[in-house]
Amino acid sequence: DAGVIQSPRHEVTEMGQEVTLRCKPISGHDYLFWYRQTMMRGLELLIYFNNNVPIDDSGMPEDRFSAKMPNASFSTLKIQPSEPRDSAVYFCASSFGTSGRNEQFFGPGTRLTVL
C-alpha cells in the first residue's frame, strides 16, 4: 500500500517567492496533519483537517501560511511570501481517526530552504 506522498522532496527558493507543498494522504484516512520540524523547535503541528475541513489552525505561524484540502486525496500548504526563517522540513501525516485510534502516518517530508 502506498503511504503518505509528499512533493517536492526538496525545495530551494528565494525570499519573497511563493512556495506550495503538496500531500496525498493514505487512501481512506479521514484526518490530515501538516507539521514543521526544525532543530530549535522540534515537530510543531501547523494545521489539521477532518474530512477535508480545517479543524485547528492555531499552529499556523502567520498569515503568510495557508493550507487547503479540496478533496480527500489532496492537500496543499502554501507560503506567500516566503522568508528565510521558514526554512525547515515540512511533514504531512494522515490517520483514520474515526477508528478511535490516533496512529498518524507520516510522509517523507519536504525540505524547504529559503535563501
Distance CA 73, CA 28 (A): 9
DSSP state of 14: -
DSSP state of 25: P
The residue from 77, 104, 112, 114 that contacts another protein (CB under 8 A) is 104
In the complex with another protein, which residue's Cβ is closer, 82 or 107? 107
Closest CA to 59 of 43, 80, 72, 39: 43
Please tell me whether residue 54 binds another protein under the rule CB under 8 A.
no
Name the residues that contact another protein, by CB under 8 A.
4, 31, 33, 42-43, 45, 48, 50, 55-56, 59, 91, 93, 95, 97, 101-109
